Amino acid sequence: MDYEKYKMPEGSYPDRPSKPMHPARGKETSASVKEYALAYEKYEDAMPVFRKKMDEYRQADAALTEKFWKDAFEELGIPENHPKASLLRDKAWSHGHANGLHEVFFWLDDLWELAK
């Protein structure tokens, strides 16, 4: 199984806008407060765009993960309507996802041997 096809493209994770620093208390000037207010406005305008991009990223990532599960079940011959399919999926994910999809697949394979 080619695990690379289930990864998000390099550099596709959206950059979070930086929240501007408030001028130091007691050292504010009208110019620094105006500069901060303009920077904060830009930040507030950028956050909804960032959130939308994050939602799109998460949806795309979830779609790739679902494709992995579909392909893994098909490759191992696990029926999608098997009574233990959900349990196999949960256990394989909890044991393997920290080390990558290849580890999830190996766990799924091992657990499937027990569930047959």
Encode pLDDT of 56-102 as tens digits: 999 999 999 999 999 999 999 999 899 999 999 999 999 999 999 99
Is 23 a domain residue? no
Contact call for residues 12 and 57 (beta carbons, < 8 A):
yes
Is 84 a domain residue? yes
58 is in which domain, residue-wise?
A: 29-115
Contact call for residues 4 and 64 (beta carbons, < 8 A):
no
Domain count, the chain: 1
* Average pLDDT value over all residues in the chain: 94
Is 3 a domain residue? no
Is 54 a domain residue? yes
Contact call for residues 67 and 103 (beta carbons, < 8 A):
no
Q: How much of the chain, in percent, has pLDDT values that exceed 70?
A: 100
Is 24 a domain residue? no
Q: What is the pTM of this model?
A: 0.82
